[in-house]
Structures are given as structure tokens and as C-alpha cells.
Amino acid sequence: MNHSRITGWGKYIPEKCLSNLDIEKFVNTGHDWIVSRTGIEQRYIANDDENCSMMAVKAIEKSLEQANRSASDLDLIIVATNTPDYLVPSVSSIIQHNLGANCPAFTVVTGCTGFMYALITAHQFLATGAYSCISIVGVDTISRFLDWNDRTTCVLFGDGAGAVVLEATNKPYGIISFDMGSDGAKGMQLAIPGFGSAVKMDHAMLNRGDQFLSMVGSDIFKFATRIVPPTIRKIVDAADLVLNDIALFVPHQANIRIIESATKELVIDKEKIFSNIHHYGNTSAASIPLCLIDIVAQKRVNIGDYLCLVSFGAGLTWASAIVRWGTHLD
């Protein structure tokens, strides 16, 4: 049982949908400007009663139902988020309790790559035989930390949660190869600088606006377009495949121009590049699982297909994997 496969999937999307036309009413921007520079047409924003743990629990419950599992079957819960309910206690323990699960739980905080880091980590527990059934959820409420007067950030992000159940199997499915990396040299180019032990929590911090997400977009663009082609080549080679063997490329949904530029170098057929950024915006750690769930819903993947998942984000970090699709239904 040295393989793993995704057997269940589920998502939770907040009720409130914020379109570009809505944003036009309070930010000096326009629908056409946002679409041309990001590809985003709308995003979903959490209400006051929709926090990180609540959305994660809803998504996990749906994924367990899809997998014909219950919370009692879980050996481990891994939560990928940048926006937990609190700094302490860990949101993963809150989620574990609210699910009614009796298993360990921990949180991965690696920016937008969090879900990929969690997926790769879960695979190790299953491949070694330590565990047999793991829940992984990517969830973020980035809207809580946006300056809604800053059009360089507020138009980009949305909230949501996507979860999968990963189970051990003796069939050759799941993660075939992977790559992870970190380059902290320009980590503060994408940051929420006002929270943590490195800063003093006072009115001066709030007056500076350090509680809000800040981003140097040009540096993030350069980083993403530099790192995506080589990490894809690396995992394709490691899986003993060629690019044409990949049924679908699933990049982190940060910006449509990043996706187009990063994949142009590889000469990938546009029909093989999946994107739903127009619908959700950048949902950070929830981005990749929401893509997977939409791919299944749109019947874009078949048993045995190879998917190339690639993510990049705060840290600065990246993570990618070749996943051979297989479920409990095959």
C-alpha cells in the first residue's frame, strides 16, 4: 500500500459574491481593467459568521461524504491556511474538534502553496504505512486582511475552502513525483507585516496599515514566471513522462497573465491549462483544491489521467506534483 489516491472532494464557497462591477463602486478601478490585468470577474467574500474553521469543516464534511467515509475514519487532518481563526489555538485542532474526529491535526502555513505542501506531506504518511486515511483542506479568508482602498490587492483575492480525502492504495495512483522549494530572499514582497513576534501590536502598527496584505506585484510576477517552467520540467522528468503525457496542467490561480506567461515557455496547448480564476479570484491555499473539484465537476479528468499541479506564493515558496487520477469508484 505504498501509493495514495484522492477518494473524496468537497468545497465551501461563501454566500457573498463580489463582482468587478461591485468593486467599481468603492475603488478607483473598472471591470475591464481588472479582467485585462488579472482575468478575474468576481470573487466570494466571507461574511462575519464564515471564518476559516467553519468553511474548512463544511468542505471536509462534503469530501468525506464523497469518499464514503466519516470523521471517525480519519487518521490525520492537515489544514493549509494563512488566515486561521486565531494565532493560538491552532485552527487545525478547532477543525478536528468541530468535525468530531479523534485524530492528530496540524496546520501548514506556506502561503498559496499550502495545499500542495499538505498533499505531498500526507502522501508520505500513507506511502510509509503510518496512516491510511487523511483529510487535507486548503482554506483562506484573505478578505479579512485586505485594504479595500488598495486596488493592487483588493481586486485579486477571494475566500473559500477545498478539501480532499487521501487514502492508501496498492494501485499506481496519486502522487507520482513532486518538487518543493523556498526562497525567502524576497519574502516580505508578499506579506502581512503587522502580526507576529517580530512586531509590536500597537496603534502605530494599525495606523501604518500593517494589518493588511501588502504585495510587490512585479516581483511576484517575476518569481512565478521564473519558477514554474523548471519545476514542471523537473516533476515530469522524475515521473518518466513527457509534457504531452499530461492530460491537464493545473496552476495556482493567482493571475491569468502569470499563468499564460509561465506556461508559454513550455509550449503547452491552451486547452490543457485549467483555469477558474475568473470565477473565484485568488483563493490562496484553497486555489488548487477548488480547481480539482471543478475539473471533476466539468468531467475534464478520467481514471488514469496524469495531472500536473503547480503552486507558488508567499515565502516565497513553490510546490508541484504529478498526480495520476484514481478514485475509490474505479
pLDDT digits (tens, 9 = 90+) for 37-91: 999 999 999 999 999 999 999 999 999 999 999 999 999 999 999 999 999 999 9
**Catalytic, out of 52, 112, 154, 291:** 112
Per-residue pLDDT averaged across 197-205, rounded?
84
Distance CA 269, CA 262 (A): 13
**Looking at residue 320, what is its pLDDT?**
97
Q: Render 281-297 in DSSP notation, one character per residue.
A: -B-GGGHHHHHHHHHHH
Q: Model's pTM, two decimal places?
A: 0.94
Are 108 and 121 contacting, i.e. CB atoms less than 8 angstroms apart?
Answer: yes
Q: Is 282 a residue of the active site?
A: yes
Residue 199 has pLDDT above 90, yes or no: no
Distance CA 237, CA 232 (A): 9
**Catalytic, out of 252, 276, 291, 308:** 252
Are 40 and 278 contacting, i.e. CB atoms less than 8 angstroms apart?
Answer: yes
User: For residue 190, which phi and psi values (nearest 5 degrees)?
Assistant: -140, 100
**Looking at residue 137, what is its pLDDT?**
98
Are 96 and 114 contacting, i.e. CB atoms less than 8 angstroms apart?
Answer: no
First vs last C-alpha separation in the chain:
16
Are 215 and 192 contacting, i.e. CB atoms less than 8 angstroms apart?
Answer: no
Residue 71 is given by DSSP the state G
Residue type, 135: S
pLDDT digits (tens, 9 = 90+) for 79-138: 999 999 999 999 999 999 999 999 999 999 999 999 999 999 999 999 999 999 999 999
Q: Is 207 a residue of the active site?
A: no
**Looking at residue 202, what is its pLDDT?**
86
What value, to the nearest 5°, has the Cα angle with vertex 286 and ends 1 and 13? 115
Are 161 and 54 contacting, i.e. CB atoms less than 8 angstroms apart?
Answer: no
Are 286 and 161 contacting, i.e. CB atoms less than 8 angstroms apart?
Answer: yes
**Catalytic, out of 3, 282, 291, 308:** 282
Q: Where are the alpha helices (DSSP H) in the chain?
A: 20-23, 31-38, 52-66, 91-99, 114-127, 151-154, 203-208, 217-238, 256-264, 277-280, 287-297
**Looking at residue 220, what is its pLDDT?**
92
Per-residue pLDDT averaged across 133-152, rounded?
95
Q: Is 103 a residue of the active site?
A: no
**Looking at residue 99, what is its pLDDT?**
98
**Looking at residue 1, what is its pLDDT?**
61
**Looking at residue 166, what is its pLDDT?**
97
